[in-house]
Chain A
Amino acid sequence: MSLASQRTAAVPVAETETDIVPQEPSRWSLKHPHSRLGWIRPAIWLPLAVMLALLGGLWQWGTARMPYLLPPLSAVGDTLTRNPGYYLRNAGITLEESLLGLAMSFVAAFLLAVVMSEAPLVRRAVMPIAVVLNVTPLVAIAPALVVAFGFGSAPKLIITALICFFPILINTAVGLRSVPQPVLQVYRTMNASRSEMLVYLRVPNALPYLFAALRIVTPLSVIGAVVAELSASGSTGGLGTVISNASSMNQLAVVYAAIGVLAVMGSVLMLVITVIERRALHWHESAADRT
């Protein structure tokens, strides 16, 4: 009910000079930064709602025109509601693969970045290899890894870790190296040891870069897991396997349901990253325009 009273101020007020007082913005205005319930305003949700309705309509139109290419949305919803456990279980497998691969990659890339920042020799030895590995399409490597490591989780974790490795490595290395010179000078005159500089200066300085990397890498980790599942047909499970099985049996609704679950999963992961980032980087410039 407080909402109703909130939006009464759009009434124009006489513009005498004594009356120049900030007005509450109209409910169609986006300038309402302090309201916690800002998202209730039509200005926030309506554009998206219209867009979704349009896309839905387009989809249904496409379904009517070419039923062999697009399943009706109702059928997709149907299969999701009929056996949610099936999708949840497979989503869990894919999620586990991508998160585990991401974690492995994170630890390895972070440690390597630290070593590289402390020992230029290692950087010169490792960087070229990392670059070549990064430009090699992982989709091409995946089948080879499946041959080598079988249909279990090993090749999936390796592919996911590989795809996440490079962005974390590069970003962390840059962050560790980009402590401002005057800061380093101040702490050098205090005779700070290299490990103290690393712990107190370089690693915290690298945090914003690390989170930038995580934003890139989190969706990539899901891609890695799905690619690995797709290239190992006959895997134990996972949404990639669901997709490849269903498409070979021409169950389009199942394919699209799995795709939808993947999209939701990726979005939730990004949301989690964003929440953690806001906590960890409250001091950073990137937080300033959010407060």
Chain B
Amino acid sequence: MQQQESDAAAIELSSVRRVYGYGSSATVALSGADLRIEPGRFVSLIGPSGCGKSTVLRLVSGLEAPDAGSVLVHGMTPVEACAAKLIGFVPQTPALLPWLSVLKNVTLPQKINAKAGKRRFVGSASPDMRKLLRKAGLGEAMDKLPAQLSGGMQQRAAIVRAFGLRPEVLLMDEPFSALDEFTRESLQDQLLDLWDELKTTVLFVTHSVSEAVRLSDTVVVMAPKPGRVVDVVDIDLPRPRGERLFEERDFHAFEDLIRDRLRSAWRSDDAASVGGTNR
């Protein structure tokens, strides 16, 4: 699925500022953030709590509007992009509907806002959800209720649901943070498999350095007080990135590099919080 909008970036933030609260109690969640993500890239946002990575996600998904600057998704405002069903969202919790079976959970989005859906699916037919579920290892679980599944399986279903509309842009807010490490790694595998097939742009928020390095083409390092982008690191590791990756030296080199950038961002914290809005 190649983009027709050739020169438009998938996601473009220019000098975005977002402030929560008013007056003396105001906190600058995001200040002067610039970010350009090309279509089809897998990009992770990493940084300590309060660095504004979730804010970036909420801005891109149109759940919030920036106080200054602009956010564009394929050249549209996020709200327009949502209306055109360009955006898929995977929250931290699976957020499945407990009264629907897994299959109904993942097919419900196609019933929602069906008019916009038709406009989108002129070229590409909507994917067969049964096939996607089977590919995600949920073939047996299709007719079960979410409560009957493990946390990892629920999160997989949530990912399939988001992929189901074939969004141009998939936003993932720490989707694996509540899972144990084994489950986490196998879900990373499956996410990469699905992404490989559908080639959407992914914006992935995470706390985990190794997760960011393993999944991403690009890692965006962020720092708090005020939330800002401090570094953008391209991860030049070959794909597919299987289990073996964890044993490779290059992988660990990138991990160390990003840890280093995070640490130096921490250290420059004091200077930045005095300066406030610089960059």
Residues on A close to B: CB < 8 A?
180, 182-183, 185-193, 196, 200-201, 204, 207, 283-285, 288
Contacts and interface: CB of A to CB of B under 8 A. Distances in A.
Q: Is the interface of A mostly helix, strand, loop or mixed?
A: helix
A192 B97 CA distance: 15
B116 to A, nearest CB: 6
Interface in B51-85: 61-63, 82-83, 85
A189 B92 contact: no
Contacts of B22: none
Contacts of B188: none
Interface residues of B, number: 30
Given A186-B89, A186-B91, A191 B116 contact: yes
B253 interface: no
A192 B113 CA distance: 6
26 contacts: A182-B91, A182-B93, A183-B95, A185-B61, A186-B89, A186-B158, A186-B162, A188-B63, A188-B82, A189-B61, A189-B62, A189-B87, A190-B113, A190-B165, A191-B83, A191-B85, A191-B113, A192-B113, A193-B113, A200-B97, A200-B108, A200-B112, A201-B97, A283-B98, A283-B145, A284-B98
A233 B90 CA distance: 63
B224 interface: no
Contacts of B108: 200
Q: Which of A182, A196, A207, A285 has the most CB of B within 10 A?
A: A182
A207 B98 CA distance: 12
Given A180-B93, A180-B95, A207-B99, A190 B112 contact: yes
Contacts of A191: 82-83, 85, 112-113, 116
Nearest to B109: A190
Given A189-B61, A200-B97, 9 more contacts: A185-B61, A185-B89, A186-B161, A189-B82, A189-B87, A189-B89, A189-B171, A191-B82, A191-B112
Contacts of A183: 95, 97
B145 A182 contact: no
Q: Which of A186, A187, A207 has the most CB of B within 10 A?
A: A186
Contacts, number: 67
A148 B244 CA distance: 84
A64 B98 CA distance: 58
B15 to A, nearest CB: 24
A136 to B, nearest CB: 37
A130 B17 CA distance: 44
Contacts of A196: 112-113
Contacts of A185: 61, 63, 89, 91, 95
A200 B109 CA distance: 10
A284 B100 CA distance: 11
B147 interface: yes
Interface in B114-166: 116, 145, 147, 158, 161-162, 165
Contacts of A200: 97, 108, 111-112
Nearest to A280: B99
Nearest to B165: A190
